[in-house]
C-alpha cells in the first residue's frame, strides 16, 4: 500500500511544480517580437520633406515610392453625446442621450490620422538590407581606425550601443539623419559644409526645424564630440511622453476623453513588479505645441469643438518628435559568437515551443491521474497491474520530457549573454532579455527538481518490480526443476 501512496504523492508534487512553472513562465512575446522585427526591418534609405499644404489648402501626399514617416499619432474619433457639469465642478460625459438639461452637446468627430509635424510633411523609403544582413559589418566605436583603409569606409552609428557600419567603398551607406533647431540659416549651412551633408531646409520663415541627411561617411570622432545626435535612425514617432516598449501602435496619450471610440492608454504596460515598460532608446529630437500640431494636420476643430467647451487647456501641452536607431547588440557577443544574434532572432519560436511543451506535460499528468482513478473504479481485479503500468508511463514521460525542456531553456539562456554572463542587448532590450533569462532559469531549476524526483521514483519502482517479479521467477524455476525430474 505504501508504494501506491508514495507514487501518487510524487505525481501530485510533480504536477504542482509543473503548474507553478507554467504560471511563472512569461516572456512578453509581443515586446520580444517587436525587437526581433526591428532587427529585421530594412534601414531607411531616404527621407524627404514637403510642405504640409498644397496651394489649394489640401494636405500634401507622399510620392508613390515613399511612405508617411509619422503616422503613429491619431485621433480615434468620438461618439455623439453631451457633457454635464457635476457638483465637483468637473464634467460627466454621456453618449447618445443626455440625462439632464443645460448640458453641452458633443458632435461626433470621425477618426483622423496625423502625418505632419512642425509645418513639415515627412516621407521615407526603406532599402533592402537590415541589421541582420549587416551584423558582420559592425564594429564598436573604439575600432573606428580599423575601417579607415583603401577598401572600406565608415558609414555611421547604426544602433543604440554606437556600433558603426564598415562597408566596402563600392557599397552605398545607409542614410544618416539628424534634426537641427535654429533660425540661423548660415549656421545650418556651416554645419552642412563641415560634415559634407546636404541640408533640406523648408520655408525658413515659418519653421526652425531642419533635416540634414547624407549617404556620405562622417568623421565619427568629430561628430560625436560635437554633441550632435547623428545616427542612422530607423524609427520615428510623435507622442506626448516617452513611448512604450513593444511597438504599441496607439500613442501613449494624456488626452483621455470619455466619449472616445478607442481610448488611449494613460500609461504603458507594466511588468509584474509594476514597472512601466517604456522604450528609453527613443531620443527627443524636437517638440511642438499641441495646438500647432493639430493645426498642421487641419484638425484644429478638435480643440474648438471638444476641448475648449469643457475647459480642457492644451496651451502648454507639447507633442514631441522621437527617433531611435536599431536596437543595440553587444560587440562582445557578435565578435565572440556571431551565431547568438541569429539564434536570438529565433528565440520567440523556441520560447513558444517551451510554453507549449510545459502545457502538454501538465496535461499528460492530468490524463495519468484520471487514468489511475478510472482504473481504481472499473478494474479493481487488475488495478495493481494497471497502476504500475501507468506509473511506468509517468516515469518515462518525466524523464525525457523535462530533459528537452531543460535543453531548450539553456539554449535560450546561452544565446542571450556573452561568455562572461553579460546580456547582449542595449538598455531597453536587456529589460526583456533579463525577464526571459529569469523565466528560463526558473524553468530549468524546476524541471531539474522534477528529474531528481523522477530518478528517485525509478529506483523505488525497480525495487518494487523486483519484489513483485521475484516470487514469480522462483515459482517458474521450481516448475522447471519438476519438469526436468519428470523427464
Of 343 and 120, the one with more pLDDT: 343
Domain ranges of the chain: 2-37+338-486
- CA-based nearest residue to 399, from 468, 463, 461, 464: 461
Residue found by looking up cell 510623435 in the block:
238
**441, 400 Cβ separation under 8 angstroms:** no
Query: What pLDDT is recorded for position 50?
Result: 80
pLDDT-based confidence at residue 285 (cuts at 50, 70, 90): confident
- For the chain, the farthest-separated pair of C-alpha atoms sits apart, in whole angstroms, at 121
Instruction: Give percent of the chain above pLDDT 70.
Output: 73
pLDDT-based confidence at residue 202 (cuts at 50, 70, 90): very low
- Say yes or no to pLDDT of 228 above 50: no
Mean local confidence (pLDDT), 187-211: 53
Q: In degrees, to the nearest 5, what angle opens at C-alpha 141 toward C-alphas 139 and 146?
A: 60
Query: What pLDDT is recorded for position 61?
Result: 85
DSSP characters over 402-465: HHHHHHHHHHHHHTSB-TTS-BSB-HHHHHHHHHHHHHHHHHHHHHHHHHHHHHHHHHHHHHHH
**320, 414 Cβ separation under 8 angstroms:** no
DSSP characters over 233-245: --EEEEESSPPBT
Query: What pLDDT is recorded for position 191?
Result: 59
pLDDT tens digit sequence for 66-81: 888 887 777 777 777 8
Q: Among the residues of 105-178, which ranges form H helices?
A: 131-134
Instruction: Give percent of the chain above pLDDT 90.
Output: 0
In terms of phi and psi (left: phi > 0; alpha: psi -120 to 50; beta: otherwise), the region of 109 is beta
Report the distance separating Cα 324 and Cα 162, nearest Å: 12
pTM: 0.75
Burial code of 93-120, b = ≥16 C-beta within 10 A, e = fewer?
A: bbeeebeeeebeebeebeeeebbbbbbb
- C-alpha grid cell, residue 162: 554606437
Judged by average pLDDT, the poorest of 212-221, 337-346, 374-383 is: 212-221
Query: What pLDDT is recorded for position 223?
Result: 45
- Say yes or no to pLDDT of 199 above 50: no
**291, 312 Cβ separation under 8 angstroms:** no
Of 268 and 476, the one with more pLDDT: 268
Q: Return the C-alpha torsion angle 350, 354, 357, 358, nearest 10.
A: -170
- C-alpha grid cell, residue 322: 522621437
Q: Phi and psi of 132, rounded to 5°? A: -60, -40
pLDDT-based confidence at residue 401 (cuts at 50, 70, 90): confident
Report the distance separating Cα 246 and Cα 251, nearest Å: 12
Query: What pLDDT is recorded for position 226?
Result: 43
pLDDT tens digit sequence for 312-342: 777 788 888 888 888 888 888 877 777 888 8
Judged by average pLDDT, the poorest of 16-25, 232-241, 254-263 is: 254-263
Judged by average pLDDT, the poorest of 185-194, 264-273, 340-349 is: 185-194
pLDDT tens digit sequence for 131-175: 888 888 888 877 777 777 778 877 777 888 888 888 887 777 776
pLDDT-based confidence at residue 189 (cuts at 50, 70, 90): low
Of 197 and 101, the one with more pLDDT: 101
- Say yes or no to pLDDT of 219 above 50: no
Mean local confidence (pLDDT), 442-455: 87
| Residues pairing with 46 in the sheet | 125
Question: How many Å is the Cα radius of gyration of the chain?
Answer: 33
Report the distance separating Cα 263 and Cα 377, nearest Å: 55
- CA-based nearest residue to 159, from 180, 179, 137: 137
Report the distance separating Cα 328 and Cα 458, nearest Å: 48
**46, 124 Cβ separation under 8 angstroms:** yes
pLDDT-based confidence at residue 222 (cuts at 50, 70, 90): very low
Amino acid at each position: 500500500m505504501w508504494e501506491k501512496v508514495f507514487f501518487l504523492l510524487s505525481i501530485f508534487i510533480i504536477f504542482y511544480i509543473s503548474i507553478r512553472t507554467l504560471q511563472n513562465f512569461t516572456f512578453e512575446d509581443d515586446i520580444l517580437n517587436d525587437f526581433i522585427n526591428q532587427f529585421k526591418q530594412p534601414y531607411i534609405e531616404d527621407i524627404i520633406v514637403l510642405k504640409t499644404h498644397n496651394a489649394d489648402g489640401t494636405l500634401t501626399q507622399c510620392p508613390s515610392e515613399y511612405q508617411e514617416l509619422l503616422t503613429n499619432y491619431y485621433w480615434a474619433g468620438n461618439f455623439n453625446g453631451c457633457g454635464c457639469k457635476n457638483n465637483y465642478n468637473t464634467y460627466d460625459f454621456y453618449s447618445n442621450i443626455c440625462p439632464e438639461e443645460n448640458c453641452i452637446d458633443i458632435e461626433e468627430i470621425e477618426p483622423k490620422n496625423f502625418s505632419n509635424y512642425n509645418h513639415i510633411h515627412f516621407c521615407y523609403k526603406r532599402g533592402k538590407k537590415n541589421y541582420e544582413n549587416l551584423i558582420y559589418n559592425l564594429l564598436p566605436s573604439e575600432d573606428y581606425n580599423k575601417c579607415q583603409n583603401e577598401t572600406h569606409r565608415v558609414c555611421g552609428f547604426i544602433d543604440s550601443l554606437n556600433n558603426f557600419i564598415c562597408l566596402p567603398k563600392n557599397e552605398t551607406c545607409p542614410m544618416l539623419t539628424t534634426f537641427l533647431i535654429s533660425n540661423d540659416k548660415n549656421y545650418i549651412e556651416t554645419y552642412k559644409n563641415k560634415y559634407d551633408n546636404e541640408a533640406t531646409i523648408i520655408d525658413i520663415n515659418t519653421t526652425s526645424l531642419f533635416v540634414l541627411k547624407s549617404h556620405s561617411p562622417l568623421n565619427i570622432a568629430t561628430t560625436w564630440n560635437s554633441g550632435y545626435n547623428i545616427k542612422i535612425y530607423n524609427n520615428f514617432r510623435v507622442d506626448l511622453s516617452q513611448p512604450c516598449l513593444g511597438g504599441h501602435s496607439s500613442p501613449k496619450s494624456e488626452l483621455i476623453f470619455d466619449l472616445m471610440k478607442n481610448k488611449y492608454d494613460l500609461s504603458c504596460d507594466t511588468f509584474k513588479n509594476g514597472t512601466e515598460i517604456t522604450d528609453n532608446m527613443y531620443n527627443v529630437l524636437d517638440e511642438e505645441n499641441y495646438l500647432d500640431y493639430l493645426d498642421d494636420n487641419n484638425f484644429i476643430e478638435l480643440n474648438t469643438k471638444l476641448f475648449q467647451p469643457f475647459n480642457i487647456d492644451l496651451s502648454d501641452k507639447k507633442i514631441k518628435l522621437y527617433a531611435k536607431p536599431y536596437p543595440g547588440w553587444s560587440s562582445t557577443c557578435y565578435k565572440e559568437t556571431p551565431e547568438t544574434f541569429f539564434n536570438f532572432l529565433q528565440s520567440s519560436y523556441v520560447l513558444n515551443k517551451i510554453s507549449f511543451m510545459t502545457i502538454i506535460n501538465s496535461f499528460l499528468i492530468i490524463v495519468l491521474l484520471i487514468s489511475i482513478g478510472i482504473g481504481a473504479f472499473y478494474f479493481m481485479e487488475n488495478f495493481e497491474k494497471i497502476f504500475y503500468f501507468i506509473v511506468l508511463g509517468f516515469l518515462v514521460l518525466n524523464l525525457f520530457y523535462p530533459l528537452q525542456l531543460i535543453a531548450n531553456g539553456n539554449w535560450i539562456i546561452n544565446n542571450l549573454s556573452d561568455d562572461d554572463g553579460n546580456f547582449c542587448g542595449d538598455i531597453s532590450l536587456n529589460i526583456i532579455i533579463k525577464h526571459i533569462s529569469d523565466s528560463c532559469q526558473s524553468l530549468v531549476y524546476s524541471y531539474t527538481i522534477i528529474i531528481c524526483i523522477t530518478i528517485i521514483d525509478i529506483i523505488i519502482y525497480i525495487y518494487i518490480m523486483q519484489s513483485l517479479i521475484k516470487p514469480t521467477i522462483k515459482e517458474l524455476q521450481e516448475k522447471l526443476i519438476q519438469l526436468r525430474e519428470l523427464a
